[in-house]
Structure 1
Amino acid sequence: MDELIIKAVEELDEDKVVKLANKALNDGMEPFYLLNLIKEGMNRVGKLYENKQYFIADLIMAGLIFKEVLKLDKMAAQLHNDDSKKIGRVLIGTVKGDLHDIGKDIFRGMMEANKFDVIDLGVDVGKESFVKGVQKYQPDIVGLSGVLNYTIESMKETVEALNEAGLRSNILIILGGNHLTKEACEYVGADYYTKDASVGVKYCKKWIKTKYQTRSINNGITDLSSNR
């Protein structure tokens, strides 16, 4: 089943992917595991694109297939379960000047599969919107996505805006994009960067456990104490 799903994504066979994904979920496959299979298929699409066997339209199609899998009833039901089971909140968006959303959507799906409450601001998101989002939703983590080289400046401006608003100290800022480097992450002023959504999810889970090490129950209300 695993290879069939991966191959169907690689071949951009949307109907087959959806059918196989539905069957896998009905048979008890975990959403996170399924998303990893879809991601592997998309990685193969990416390699075919790099080898000039696929075109930009094929990359877009792969992203659309991923979104269709996220919409499946059993997938949505498990991703958007009881808020009391959420382990943390993340605010994400593709930064100003970039309209790409595939990487962001993959990260969102994987974070939701790992019981994070995700607020998605969309694409071409300015620094002001990120500031307002942090003020309104008080997330533990802010994810800045961008696939174009010049988005590094937008990322930097966003982090600076959060600093100026006094919102930076108690949140993790993670960057996502294939063009990112350690030096770029340091320049932006972020805490972490990744070129792989699944690696980013693992880091966020590790960080959130550190942040919320102390949990006390008072009158049925969970008190989360930050250790960052």
Structure 2
Amino acid sequence: MDLHHEQLAQVFLSGDEEKALNYTYRLLENHPRAYVFENLITPAMYHVGKLWENNEISVADEHLATAICDFVLSKIESDHEVPKRRQQQSYKVLLFGVEEEQHYIGLKMVADTFKEHGWRVRYLGPDLPMEHSMLQIRKFQPDVIGISAALSYRIPAIKKSIEAFTQLEWKPTIMIGGRLAYKFDLSEFESDQVMVIKNIGHLTHWFKEGREESINETS
């Protein structure tokens, strides 16, 4: 089904919060959140990014579209509260963007997906220096640490994070995501403890096929 992601991108760029929300909610009536995230919102924001790269829109336009998308995601989360599940007290995930990484929309969708599956989520946002992330990680002791980046320039920060997090005594699973994971081959970083998540569909598949086994193997 064609979800008209370019049309939604234009709605984001128009700054019309209600129109963007109504458009998205109509799709949520017929499709799971993961499907809408993967097939509508993600490509819409990629399209906005492409327009900016081609100098067809300004930085201010790109920021406006991001703000509208952020509003839509926040409303989806608040209006579709997930019932508490038994696993919610057992599994914890901590999510953030590496230092100097400003993109965060994908992270919000990942956070929502974890919440939908009953996890306790600690979302720290973008551009988090290593020393600050480590303080929160040691305090929260998550089962999964999710780090995100969009540009190849962030690969050294990703590598530094992996080196630090694999030394943690409780051996959390480490997920690398964001546009960087979608566009580039990051298989060199993968191991029994580290995995690359290319998109929301990939994450949903992990929940269905191997979440508990994956955590138990690295714990």
TM-score clears 0.5: yes
On the 8 A contact 1:91/1:119 being kept in 2, the answer is yes
Deviations 1:33-55 (A, max 9, x none): 33333223323334444544334
Which amino acid is the alignment partner of residue 157 of structure 1? K
- The residue number in structure 2 matching 1:177 is 178
Following TM superposition, by how much is the alpha carbon of 1:30 offset from its aligned partner in structure 2, in angstroms? 3.6
Give the secondary structure class of the aligned counterpart of 1:63: helix
On the 8 A contact 2:147/2:176 being kept in 1, the answer is yes
Following TM superposition, by how much is the alpha carbon of 1:130 offset from its aligned partner in structure 2, in angstroms? 3.0
Give % identity: 23
- In the TM superposition, 1:29-108 aligns within 5 A as 30-36=32-38, 37-72=40-75, 75-84=77-86, 86=88, 88-108=91-111
- The residue number in structure 1 matching 2:128 is 125
Report the Cα distance in structure 1 between the residues aligned to 2:130 and 2:155, rounded to whole angstroms: 13
Per the normalisation by structure 1, the TM-score is 0.71
Which amino acid is the alignment partner of residue 127 of structure 2? D
Q: Which has the higher contact order (CA 8 A, sep 6+)?
A: 2
> How many residue pairs get matched?
211
Report the Cα distance in structure 2 between the residues aligned to 1:63 and 1:205, rounded to whole angstroms: 30
Is residue 142 from structure 1 mapped to residue 142 from structure 2 by the alignment? Answer: no
Structure 2: any 5+ residue segments left out of the alignment?
Answer: none
Per the normalisation by structure 2, the TM-score is 0.73
Larger fraction in helix: 2
CA distance change for structure 1 residues 184 and 34 in 2, over 3 Å: closer, same or farther? closer
- The residue number in structure 1 matching 2:164 is 161
CA distance change for structure 1 residues 30 and 196 in 2, over 3 Å: closer, same or farther? closer
CA distance change for structure 1 residues 198 and 29 in 2, over 3 Å: closer, same or farther? closer
On the 8 A contact 1:63/1:102 being kept in 2, the answer is yes
RMSD: 3.5
Report the Cα distance in structure 1 between the residues aligned to 2:35 and 2:180, rounded to whole angstroms: 26
Give the secondary structure class of the aligned counterpart of 1:119: strand
Report the Cα distance in structure 1 between the residues aligned to 2:115 and 2:43, rounded to whole angstroms: 18
CA distance change for structure 1 residues 98 and 68 in 2, over 3 Å: closer, same or farther? same
- Structure having the higher Rg: 1
Report the Cα distance in structure 1 between the residues aligned to 2:96 and 2:168, rounded to whole angstroms: 18
Report the Cα distance in structure 2 between the residues aligned to 1:2 and 1:99, rounded to whole angstroms: 29
CA distance change for structure 1 residues 129 and 89 in 2, over 3 Å: closer, same or farther? same
CA distance change for structure 1 residues 127 and 207 in 2, over 3 Å: closer, same or farther? farther
